[in-house]
Amino acid sequence: MNVLISRQSFQAFTALNLISANFKPEGLLIGHKRGQSFFVEKIFPTLSGFFSSPENYQELDRLFKEKIIGFFSFKRDGRKVKKILAPFACGKLFLKLASRGKRILNIESFVIDYEKKFLLKPIKKKIL
């Protein structure tokens, strides 16, 4: 499995990194999956948490025409990640972003999987 991140999405991540010294956003990844590849076309930052409730997530998924392929977070808080380690998110993408200065952005990519418990499996990434 791998993930391809569009230039537009990478620019949005970089912009969030530049403007958010204290605010560490998280949000939704919009795109599609073809075979074993995820294509992140755009991102949708959220205010707090990835979504407020499962019903809210379903509404957002309908709004984006069922093109939510995963989640991203600049936060290191493991409790937020546990929220998406659940059946509805199995097989979806998770991008963990870390800032190493205003201009350097580290992106780790994972797929949410299940092997006797929900976990994050690392996958390869490429910025288009």
Average pLDDT on 91-120 reads 89
DSSP string, 12-46: HHHHHHHH-SS---EEEEEEEEETTEEEEEEEEEE
Average pLDDT on 67-90 reads 86
Q: Based on the number of CB atoms within 10 Å of its own CB, is 77 exposed (0-12), middle (13-18) or buried (19 or more)?
A: exposed
Average pLDDT on 77-104 reads 84
Question: What is the share, in percent, of the chain residues with pLDDT greater than 90?
Answer: 62
Sheet holding 124-127, edge to edge: 118-122, 105-114, 93-99, 68-73, 26-34, 37-46, 2-5, 124-127
Can you list the domains of the chain with their CATH numbers?
Answer: 2-127 (3.40.140.10)
Q: How does residue 20 score in pLDDT terms, banded at 50, 70 and 90?
A: low
Query: What is the reported pTM?
Result: 0.91
Average pLDDT on 31-57 reads 89
Least confident window among 1-5, 26-30, 75-79, 121-125: 75-79
Report the distance separating Cα 29 and Cα 34, nearest Å. Answer: 15
